[in-house]
A and B are shown apart, each in its own frame.
Chain A
Amino acid sequence: GESVGLHLPTLSVQEGDNSIINCAYSNSASDYFIWYKQESGKGPQFIIDIRSNMDKRQGQRVTVLLNKTVKHLSLQIAATQPGDSAVYFCAENISGGYQKVTFGTGTKLQVIP
């Protein structure tokens, strides 16, 4: 089965509110976690990543939180905009090379104007 999974397949958020997308993982050997955004009809786009020795990392309007105790990852998007509407994937890397990345099934974020 999937090592990386998502709690909610669809998330609807009012424009201007903050969004939180959750992800669970099961492999304790994972040393890197990555978030991608995929807009309709396009390829995934890298958003942010975090190493397993960190518990928080911030980017532009996005924050990723990592809780290794419960094997949980979240992506927070501040002041959600219509352009944030997309499917968001979390992915994990098991140590051993860039090619060992496993993608989750994705969460669809719908922004309500």
Chain B
Amino acid sequence: NAGVTQTPKFRILKIGQSMTLQCTQDMNHNYMYWYRQDPGMGLKLIYYSVGAGITDKGEVPNGYNVSRSTTEDFPLRLELAAPSQTSVYFCASGESYGYTFGSGTRLTVV
């Protein structure tokens, strides 16, 4: 049972480039989440999904987009990367308040 798998683990982007952070879960959870974690800070919710085809904005959605075509996958798209998007990104899933998190993607925008 892999849980929540995120790829890539590390990435360096130039300002203005775009990329997709991949997230897959094999627990058949309807609820999935994307968070960002800045150094020494807690987690901020970017987007979430309550099921395939349904997504909604979290606390810090600007500069990001998501899609949820299947229960398993919840990719996060960054368009026109900016230095302010340098962060560690975590995907999570869960059917309760105890989420299962992936190991994260460390993104640096230069």
- CB within 8 Å of B: which residues of A? 2, 4, 32, 34, 41-46, 49, 89, 91, 93, 97-99, 101, 103-106
B residues less than 8 Å from A45 (CB atoms): 101
Q: Is the CB of A43 within 8 A of B50?
A: no
Q: Is the CB of B33 within 8 A of A46?
A: no
| Stretch among B11-19, B62-70, B89-97 lining the A interface | B89-97
Q: Is the CB of B50 within 8 A of A99?
A: yes
B75 within 8 A of A: no
Q: Which of A42, A43, A44, A93 has the most CB of B within 10 A?
A: A43
CB interface residues, B 58-110, toward A, < 8 Å: 58, 90, 92, 94-104
Number of B interface residues in the complex (CB < 8 A): 27
Chain A-chain B contacts (Cβ-Cβ < 8 Å), number: 58
- Residue of chain A at shortest CB distance from B102: A43
Q: Is the CB of A101 within 8 A of B101?
A: no
Additional 20 contacts, C-beta under 8 A, given A43-B4, A98-B31:
A2-B42, A4-B42, A41-B104, A43-B101, A43-B104, A44-B43, A44-B90, A49-B98, A89-B43, A93-B97, A98-B97, A99-B45, A99-B48, A99-B58, A101-B45, A101-B97, A101-B99, A103-B42, A103-B43, A106-B40
Question: Whole-angstrom distance between the alpha carbons of A61 and B45 in the complex?
Answer: 30
